[in-house]
Structure 1
Amino acid sequence: MTSTMHALVLREHGDLDTLRLEEDYPRPHLVPGHVVVRVTASSFNYHDIFTVNGMPGITLPLPVVIGLDVVGVVEEVADDVTGWRPGARVLVHPLDHEGKLMGEQRDGGMAEYCLVDARQLITVPDGVTDVQAAALPVAYGTAHRMIVGKGAIHAGDKVLVLGASGGVGTASVILAKKLGAHVIAAAGSEEKAQRLLEIGADEVLNYREVDFYQWVKEHHGKPSRWSDATGVDVVVNFTGGDTWHPTLRSTKLGGRILVCGATAGFDPVEDLRYIWSFELQVIGSNGFATEDFESLLGMIAAGELDPSVTDVLPLSRAVEGLRKVRDREVLGKIVVTPGSGE
């Protein structure tokens, strides 16, 4: 057994050129309460861009192997760990029991091996591929908690998903459609809009060509303070920034706005008059839980869900994949297979 491995390592913050694919990164040593996982698949999230760039007020223990989403096979098990044996196929909960994230404060999935607290392990059932499982944790887990867990979307609702082409966005489209909603997906290109129709969206709009509030007015009517017959029932907005004010204007009387992030800005222009005049509910959702992952894995095993994956790449091309995420050239997830040997 070699003492080193291939890994995508961040040693200093900067742009993506600061990432290095190292051939002799130390292979993790087993410690009590943990297992060593041979990583078969990992996927990127936009959070990985924040990790590489550096986040104000957050100090990371560099060097670190990036990659929050980890799927693999248990290779070694500490003597004090029960319930797990070598050979088990597992998905790793991205947060450990100290609240620290894989790929940020702990070495993550963009390596051949990963050290994992055994309490983070979730069994991958038969019928679920490594690539499908790796697409789930952060993006689909976040979307599941928000779309399904909050109980705010019902069959027949008109649901507008902003930022619909990314990981959380495509997951939101798929899960809202599964609940029986009429899904309107906003994307930044005609190509992405077409792909969103293919994965289940009922209507699409290109936000680079049309103001989405004006689009809602034209296609579903201007929301009224006296009737719930116009506007959309739910807006999924995890972008914030300049999209917040038109979100308030697009939501019907008694409608809901679901929020799980603010990728375009956390301090947007606010107009409280819309919230009371239209009796709007702003519903926050934060993170994910084990039950979200178990539910999603069960859906895949039952043939009810197939996560949207843009590319599957070897570790040698991982930076290329992350660059596509940064430049928003993807629809869904980019999965990396560190154990592919390429």
Structure 2
Amino acid sequence: MFAITAARISPDDPVSGLEAGERPEPEPREGWAVVDVRAASLNHHDLWSLRGVGLDEKSLPRILGGDAAGVDEDGNEVVVHSVIGDLGAGGGDETLDPRRSLLSEVHEGTFAEKLLVPRRNLLPKPPELSFEEAACLPTAWLTAYSMLFGKADLRPGSTILVQGAGGGVSAALIRLAVQAGHRVYATSRSEAKRDRAVQFGAHAAVPTGERLPEKVDAVFDSVGQATWAHSVRSLKPGGAIVTCGATSGDSPSAELTRVFFLQLRVLGSTMGTRSELATLIEMCARTGLRPDIDRVLPLDRAREGFQAMADGDLFGKIVFTL
């Protein structure tokens, strides 16, 4: 079967580690399902894997990709939850299992014609969602959903800041927060991305690091070092930062004096549960809310998508089709 693999680790030039070609088809096993992949979406996790984060040379070649929608052996249209974890070890939450992994870390990923995945990781794809739209949900949109509705503890009408508008998680946060009735501010170094954020419902978008017109109840930060101080200083007393990543580095000044004096909350968030994904899928089907897709490419042009993400040349999700 045709697949996109990580063939080499390259921290400085991750896209150079990509390889496209034939790989063995997955062999069925008890409790697992083989899915014919129809669409798969790209995430920063895939670039970090090529840099050697969560993936080492000994495990190569490894099929990349964590998100997919397709058809199972019984002809059912499905969405794939990419967290492979033990509910028992996580106290009922697979994302709290210390031994959890994501597809493409320990098991082969979704950038292939066929995928082997635990059967419990499959959820029904509603007819209202296309395969391309459904494939955007399991990582970026699920992460945003869990941050906003599972961690932040906000009431409708709250004010929030989304750092780094343009990426998959940030774009999803803007759309979901607007749908929930929040007043949304967004930041970006790109004027075009700030304009897109406003088009998608943000109350205002400002250059990265610029002071906001008002303090906010919560900040959603996936950027890390470059935005952390601004995130802390943008909060009302008692406010919260919810962080799910550090694409600019993970060694910011902690701003601890402000944190304890203003009684701020710092909350970490990683992915989301299968039940949260089911609720997100249902929400999109019922409300008409849809992921923002930057571009759709056939899988054999995956390198173009990886390079666009590495260059920051995107707003929303990049989707590969088969």
Q: CA deviation at 1:303?
A: 3.0
Unaligned residue ranges in structure 2 (runs of 5+) = 87-99
Q: Give the superposition deviation at 1:241.
A: 0.7
Distance 1:254 1:100 in 2: 33
For 1:83-134, what per-residue CA distance to the aligned partner results, in whole angstroms no more than 9, with x for missing partners? xxx1011111112236232122211111111111212111112211111110
Counterpart residue type for residue 199 of structure 1: F
* Moved beyond 4 Å, runs of 4+: 56-60
Count of residue pairs the alignment pairs up: 306
How far apart are 1:16 and its partner, in Å?
1.0
1:282 aligns with 2:238: no
- Structure 2 distance, partners of 1:199, 1:137, is 21
Pair member with larger Rg: 1
Task: Report the TM-score, using the length of structure 1 for normalisation.
Answer: 0.85
User: In structure 2, what is the equivalent of residue 19 of structure 1?
Assistant: 18
2:41, 2:320 within 8 Å by CA — same for their partners in 1?
A: yes
SS in 2 for 1:302: helix
Distance 1:59 1:292 in 2: 33
Q: Which residue of 2 is the match for residue 10 of structure 1? A: 6
Question: What's the C-alpha RMSD, in Å, of the aligned pairs?
Answer: 1.7
Other-structure match for 2:27: 29
Q: Deviations over 1:168-209 (max 9, x none)?
A: 1011111111221110011221111111111111101122xx
SS at match of 1:233: strand
SS of equivalent to 1:335: strand
Show the counterpart of 1:312.
Answer: 296
| Maintained 8 Å contact 1:60/1:104 | no
Letter in 1 for 2:104: G
| Distance apart, 1:10 and its partner CA | 1.6
Tell me what 1:124 maps to: 125
2:186 aligned partner: 185
Contact 2:152 2:240 in 1 (8 A): no
1:89 corresponding residue in structure 2: 77
Q: What SS is found at the alignment partner of 2:27?
A: coil
Superposed displacement of residue 56, structure 1: 7.3
Question: Would you say the 8 A contact 1:60–1:105 is kept in 2?
Answer: no
- TM-score normalised by L of structure 2: 0.90
> For 1:60 and 1:234, how far apart are their aligned partners in 2?
41
Quote the residue 1:204 is aligned against.
Answer: 205
- In the alignment, the residues of structure 2 paired with residue 140 and residue 306 of structure 1 have an alpha-carbon distance, to the nearest angstrom, of 10
Deviates more, 1:145-154 or 1:175-184: 145-154
1:153/1:179 contact within 8 Å kept: no
Identity of aligned residues (%): 35
CA deviations over 1:224-249 (Å, ceiling 9, x no partner): xxxxxxx2221111222132122222
How many angstroms apart in 2 are the aligned matches of 1:242 and 1:113? Answer: 39
Asked if 1:321 is matched to 2:320, the reply is no
Question: 2:77 corresponds to which letter in structure 1?
Answer: R
Q: Secondary structure at the match of 1:21?
A: strand
Taking the TM superposition and a 5 Å limit, the aligned residue runs for 1:1-342 are 5-14=1-10, 15-22=14-21, 24-55=22-53, 61-75=59-73, 86-97=74-85, 99-207=100-208, 211-212=209-210, 215-216=211-212, 219-220=213-214, 231-338=215-322
Aligned partner of 2:95 in structure 1 is none
Aligned partners of 2:50 and 2:81: how far apart in 1?
A: 21
Counterpart AA for 2:81 = H
